[in-house]
Amino acid sequence: MMARDTERYVYLTVGIPRDSETLQKFLQDAKECGMLRELPKLLFTRMVDFYRQTNTTRAMQPDSVEAPLEVMNEDLAAINANAALDEWG
């Protein structure tokens, strides 16, 4: 195993309840993609997909009003986390 490059990357530990619908959907996704042995890689890919979709959706909304940058920075993680929970159960 290679040493972690903590200067370049942020490393996260994620816990998903074993009896959750989210885990079951994630494992099904991994099985369909042939990535059951690469769950961290798939999780990263899905996270990137989610944020790209979120940014594309916001850009496509013609009447959207941008919040001040300081509000966006403080609330963006909470908003996206809630959206993920709504989507994934």
3-class SS letters over 38-53: CHHHHHHHHHHHHHHH
Q: What does the pLDDT read at residue 44?
A: 92
> Each residue of 14-69: pLDDT tens digit?
899 999 999 999 999 999 999 999 999 999 999 999 998 877 766 666 555 555 55
Separation between Cα atoms, residue 27 and residue 18, nearest integer Å: 11
| Token output for 61 | 């909304």
A 10 A CB-CB count for 35 gives 15
A 10 A CB-CB count for 71 gives 10
Q: What does the pLDDT read at residue 83?
A: 65
Q: Environment class of residue 88 by beta-carbon count within 10 Å: exposed (0-12), middle (13-18) or buried (19+)?
A: middle
Q: Which residue has the higher pLDDT, 78 or 46?
A: 46
